[in-house]
Amino acid sequence: MIWSPEYETMPRESLEQLQVERLKSLVARVYEKVPFYRNAFKERGVTADSIKSVADIGRLPFTSKQDFRDNYPLGLVATPMEQVCRIHASSGTTGKPVIAPYTANDLRLWTDMMARTLTCAGMGKNDVMQNAYGYGLFTGGLGFHYGGEKVGATVIPSSTGNSKRQLMLIQDLGTTVITCTPSYALILAEAATEIGLDLGLTRLRLGVLGAEPWSEQMRNEIEIKLPIKAVDIYGLTEILGPGVSVECSHRCGLHIFEDNFLPEIINPETGERLPYGQVGELVFTTLTKEAMPVIRFCTKDITSLNAEPCQCGRTLVRMGKVLGRTDDMLIIRGVNVFPSQIESVLLDVEGVEPHYQIIVDRERHLDDLEIWVEVSEAVFSDEMRKMEALQKKVKDEMEGTLGIGARIKLVEPKSLARTEGKAKRVIDRREL
Ligand code: DLL
């Protein structure tokens, strides 16, 4: 089913027409209301009249995470505060969070985008959705909550944590859809095994998982262990929260709701716009948001776009699974390494579990990469010789993929820290 066929299946020419109109009025609006954009536009000599086609967006300035910090907390707000009816904030781990204010129309838009998202992911009104994203300042909890209700499903606001209670609710209330981070889905699977619960015997069938990068191998693990169909959802606080893009049942990229969020891919070093198919940094412009519209926000997320028609009937462009973040990329002895590459290698080797930690250090001016990974119970209780063979296998595969050597430390099952929200995979101890 398609929630808003008029927009989701719009011929691309009409969609572009709509985008240009919306972009023009957005540029006029932020020029008038937000000094930060007015100054940046003046510097470049752009006005609403500069926008004649979607490609003219290239004439507008970029907005960075730093611009959000510089304008903290409410410097980028484009409406009077009395029209702001809710404020969320990012789960930022360093410094001040990103503030996300919403007007009543913004909240309606968000709920609609989440209804589209959940429908696209395969959820319907007869489903029971257990929402294990964190409720609070984080956009995950309330974003999914209102979207689920709009679709007409039964929503259980279980929030994160307390896995045993989550499992009890899944069994007792007949949960069919779980919404949480992919890493938390695996924690639930682990907790189920611990209490001897076979999740395959419950009604659970679908997971709408996101908020952090996860590989195809991790998807396979989740699909086998829970067992469910696992669908990828993407979003970010600066742009909306969840509800920016999601996979359909064909799972060949995440459809971006382009009537509201205009995506571009750029070369992060030069800012040059890249054509469909090329990998680069994802940039978004919000076309319809009121309280805090954003012009060309550089997400630091790395992916590519594909505008080929999809079998599901949606004409919306698809973004590939996020490959990593420009600021996630580790440069180890001069070689670019993404945590997602390490995850793919680990999960392809039998006997190791999808729980790992990447530790980067510098010893005598030389970068050192160490990867800690849990092994399965079976391997751990096996002979030393087998453990050594497994360690060598992981080491060889890792070297083959990354092109640099890494020390591999196999650790006991369940010994690495678990997080209920976004997993923290990398510890970089280098003082650069
Ligand atoms: O994580 C919003 C969200 C909530 C998305 C629930 C999906 C589900 P932030 O906390 O602002 O917002 O984090 C945004 O998380 O720039 C990406 O780097 C990363 N991210 C989000 N979804 C995915 C995904 C929410 N599906 C940042 N795959 C983004 C990879 C993701 N990375």
pLDDT at residue 332 above 80? yes
Distance from the alpha carbon of residue 87 to the mean position of ligand 1, in angstroms: 18
pLDDT at residue 5 above 70? yes
Specify the residue with its C-alpha closest to ligand 1, atom 13: 236
Task: Please give the number of the atom of ligand 1 that sits closest to the Cα of 254.
Answer: 26
Domain boundaries of the chain, sorted by first residue: 1-326, 330-428
The best mutation among 87, 99, 117, 301 to test binding of ligand 1, ranked by most ligand atoms within 8 Å of the C-beta, falls on: 301
Q: Which CATH number fits domain 330-428: 1.10.1740.10, 3.40.50.2300, 3.20.20.480, 3.30.300.30?
A: 3.30.300.30
* Cβ 295 vs Cβ 250: under 8 Å: no
When comparing pLDDT for 324 and 176, which is higher? 176
Specify the residue with its C-alpha closest to ligand 1, atom 27: 236
Average pLDDT, the chain: 95
Please write the tens of the pLDDT for every residue from 195-239.
999 999 999 999 999 999 899 999 999 999 999 999 999 999 999
Per-residue pLDDT, 10: 98
Cα gap 179→208, rounded to integer Å: 5
If you search the block for the tokens 């923290």, which residue do you land on? 424
- Angle value at C-alpha 268, between 262 and 272, nearest 5 degrees: 70
Please write the tens of the pLDDT for every residue from 120-144.
999 999 999 999 999 999 999 999 9
Distance from the alpha carbon of residue 18 to the mean position of ligand 1, in angstroms: 27
Mean pLDDT of 276-284: 98
pLDDT at residue 432 above 60? no
Distance from the alpha carbon of residue 43 to the mean position of ligand 1, in angstroms: 32
Sheet-wide strand order for 261-266: 261-266, 280-286, 297-303, 324-325
From residue 131, give the alpha-carbon distance in Å to each of 92, 116, 154, 180, 355: 21, 17, 10, 7, 23
Lining ligand 1 with CB less than 6 A are 90-91, 133, 139-140, 210-213, 232-237, 241-242, 299, 301, 322, 325
From residue 243, give the alpha-carbon distance in Å to each of 120, 194, 277, 414: 11, 34, 23, 33
Specify the residue with its C-alpha closest to ligand 1, atom 30: 213
For the chain, the straight-line distance linking the first and the last C-alpha, in angstroms and rounded, comes to 51
User: What residues does 156 pair with on adjacent strands?
Assistant: 130
Is pTM beyond 0.85? Reply is yes
pLDDT at residue 399 above 70? yes
Distance from the alpha carbon of residue 212 to the mean position of ligand 1, in angstroms: 5
Q: According to the CATH classification, is domain 1-326 in 3.40.50.12780?
A: yes
- Angle value at C-alpha 150, between 136 and 8, nearest 5 degrees: 110
Please write the tens of the pLDDT for every residue from 342-356.
999 999 999 999 899
